Amino acid sequence: MSNLFSDTIVALATPPGVGALAIVRVAGPDAVSLVAGVFSKRSLATQPGNTLHYGTIRDPDGGALIDEVVVALYRAPRSFTREDAVEISTHGSDYVVRQLLALLLRRGARLAEAGEFTKRAFLNGALDLAQAEAVADLIAADSALSHQVALNQLRGGFSQELRTLRGRLVTFASLLELELDFGEEDVEFADRTGLRALLGEVADRVAALLRSFELGNVIKNGITVVIAGRPNAGKSTLLNALLREERAIVSAIPGTTRDFIEDEVSLDGLRFRFVDTAGLRDDPADEVEAIGVQRTRQRVGQAALLLYLFDLTELTSAQVQAEIGALTAAHPALPVLAVGNKLDLASNAQLAGFNGFVVDGSTAVQLAAARGQGLENLQAALLARVRGAGLAGHAGATIVTNVRHARALAVAAEHLAAVQAGLDAGQGTELLAADLRHALGALGEITGEISSDDLLTSIFTQFCIGK
């Protein structure tokens, strides 16, 4: 095996603090002999990989017993980093972990840097860069969908797709380079019609991946829904109902919700971050509230979706339209969902006024937040809005969740478009080849086929130590 690293690194792999168990990870050429030197069974040094060993760890110099442990042994290349590696499961006390780490450091190991295990796995060819980044995403995943997307990326789904796209372009790129080698002679090895067709297909796929980032971003970071409406419309009550816990302050006095209260709810695997705002009114009673109203308007600008809540017994549909118009004047593209509350109090005449009431393309939802009535309609409407915005329906397909990947795809798309335009304009081989090279470079950066030290450092330092 081609071992890139001559030193052996060590770190705590489990979270710091007290737990039932703590795992200390050791990887590198001396991993096994180093641990064998402090383990009750010295024969550990010659044991095969994928084996477990029970024993004690003792400082050979002082003789102090550190802990009873279980040691998992891995042999290169069958380990996460492709090196010899040992995972020591100790009792989860800070003291034991500190003693053990100190002992291993004294015996010649080096404390791992942030993300160094994963970085070694990448540099030793166990993972490509997109997969390595998926490790971080997987650890951070907190909803069913974000977990699924990270797992797919880790298992190489995205990487495989990129390799296929690159592979198809590489053939043409090398034919173009060959034309360049022939210099003055006017030869065309690369069939221009075939190249044009191929470019069209690859560009479409890159564009689709780029579009999926919109959903990817939502999956990873959640979708921010700002709940706005007049004082006493029931915003805090609705938020409480959605969160099923009394987090917001519910009060019968108008204008009492002055601070933003937010929390997250997972619907159908998508994370929604709901933000309750101070009541919006035209004549704020005091200055504190005026600041609140101003901040509400700012907050509306950060929303992915505005949920405008109104009291069915208070406003007419024309008034609701007017209020939404005023709120979104500065944000014409912001999707809006209108929700009528206090359905339990509304008269038939009042309800008739909202018959077929459509705002921003969707029928207004009616509910009674205080009774938890109609909440499923709201949830369905929210999901429909997110999906309608082209944000979902990607089940099973590759979804780009990483900003770095999205940027690289955008660069690739730009250069692919330039090659297409160049072909249409009958451009010379030199310029075509240059743009194609750039497009290939951008795609290669995602998986790390092309990478720089700076890039690797910036990616892996975002990991924690022990990963």
Residue 231 interaction partner, one of Zn ion, ligand GDP, none, beta carbon < 5-8 Å per kind:
ligand GDP
Contacting residue, 166, 342, 394, 415, with ligand GDP by CB under 6 A: 342
CB of residue 368 vs ligand GDP: minimum separation in angstroms? 4
Q: How far is the CB of 375 from ligand GDP (least distance, A)?
A: 10
Please select the residue that binds Zn ion; options are 236, 240, 350, 366, rule is CB under 5 A: 236
Under rule CB under 5 A, residue 230 binds Zn ion: no
140 binds, among Zn ion, ligand GDP, none (CB under 5 to 8 A by kind): none
Per-residue contact flags (x/-) with ligand GDP for residues 6 to 25, judged by CB under 6 A: --------------------
Those residues with Cβ within 8 angstroms of residue 13's Cβ, 6 or more apart along the chain or in another chain: 23, 24, 25, 87, 466, 467
Q: Which residue spans within 143-294 are E strands per DSSP?
A: 223-228, 261-267, 270-276
Q: Is 401 annotated as a binding residue?
A: no
Minimum gap (Å) between residue 249 Cβ and ligand GDP? 8
- Residue from 70, 250, 293, 456 binding ligand GDP (CB under 6 A): 250
Cβ(161)–Cβ(397) below 8 Å: no
Q: Which two tokens stand for residue 344?
A: 């339990």
Site for ligand GDP in 255-294 (CB under 6 A): 257, 279
Q: Is residue 279 a known part of a binding site?
A: yes
Residue entry with tokens 């991993």: 31
Establish whether 235 is an annotated binding residue.
Answer: yes
Selected range binding ligand GDP among 342-350, 401-409, 425-433, 455-463, rule: CB under 6 A: 342-350
Q: The tokens of 65 are what?
A: 């017993």
Q: Which does 252 bind (CB under 5 to 8 A by kind): ligand GDP, Zn ion, none?
A: ligand GDP
Is 257 labelled as part of a ligand binding site?
Answer: yes
Closer to Zn ion by CB, 121 or 227: give it: 227
Q: In the numeric block, which tokens belong to residue 61?
A: 């110099």
Q: 3-class DSSP state for residue 245?
A: coil
Binding mask 351-390 for ligand GDP (x = CB under 6 A): -----------------xxxx-------------------
Task: Please report whether residue 347 would count as binding ligand GDP according to CB under 6 A.
Answer: no
* DSSP structure string for 252-312: SSTT---S-EEEEEEETTEEEEEEE-PPP-SS-SSHHHHHHHHHHHHHHHT-SEEEEEEET
Burial (CB count <10 Å: 0-12, 13-18, 19+), residue 246 = exposed
- Least separation in angstroms between residue 461's CB and ligand GDP is 43
Per CB under 6 A, contacts with ligand GDP among 105-134 are: none
CA distance 49 to 75: 4
Q: In angstroms, what is the minimal distance from the CB of 157 to ligand GDP?
A: 44
Q: Shortest CA distance to 439 belongs to which of 417, 459, 422? A: 417
Q: How far is the CB of 245 from Zn ion (least distance, A)?
A: 15
* Of 118, 119, 157, 122, the residue nearest 139 (C-alpha): 118
* Residue 226, strand partner residues: 275, 306
| Beta carbon of residue 325, minimum distance to ligand GDP (angstroms, whole number) | 20
Show Cβ contacts of residue 465 under 8 Å, excluding neighbours closer than 6 positions. Answer: 11, 12, 111, 112, 113, 114, 115, 116
Residue 276 annotated as binding?
Answer: yes
Q: Is 55 annotated as a binding residue?
A: no
| 235 interacts with Zn ion by CB under 5 A | yes
Residues 59, 344, 360, 449: which binds ligand GDP (CB under 6 A)?
Answer: 344
Q: In whole angstroms, what separates CA 202 from the centre of its chain?
A: 25
Residues binding ligand GDP: number (CB under 6 A):
21
Output 104 or 233, the one with its CB closest to ligand GDP.
233
**Closer CB to Zn ion, residue 203 or residue 227?**
227
Is 257 one of the binding residues for Zn ion (CB under 5 A)? yes
- Non-local (6+) Cβ contacts of 429 within 8 A are 176, 179, 180, 188
Q: Which of residues 186-215 bind ligand GDP (CB under 6 A)?
A: none
**Counting contacts by CB under 6 A, is residue 82 touching ligand GDP?**
no
SS3 383: helix
The one of Zn ion, ligand GDP, none whose footprint includes residue 237, by CB under 5 to 8 A per kind, is: ligand GDP
79 binds, among Zn ion, ligand GDP, none (CB under 5 to 8 A by kind): none
Is residue 133 within 8 Å of 27, Cβ to Cβ?
no
Beta bridge partner(s), residue 4: none
CB 442, CB 165: distance < 8 Å? no
The distance between the two most distant Cα atoms of the chain, rounded to a whole number of Å, is 89
Contact 467, 135 (CB under 8 A): yes
| CB of 263 vs ligand GDP, minimal distance in Å | 14
Q: Would you tell me which residues interact with ligand GDP (CB under 6 A)? A: 229, 231-237, 250-252, 257, 279, 341-342, 344-345, 368-371
Q: Would you tell me which residues interact with Zn ion (CB under 5 A)? A: 235-236, 257
Binding residues are 232-237, 251-257, 276-279
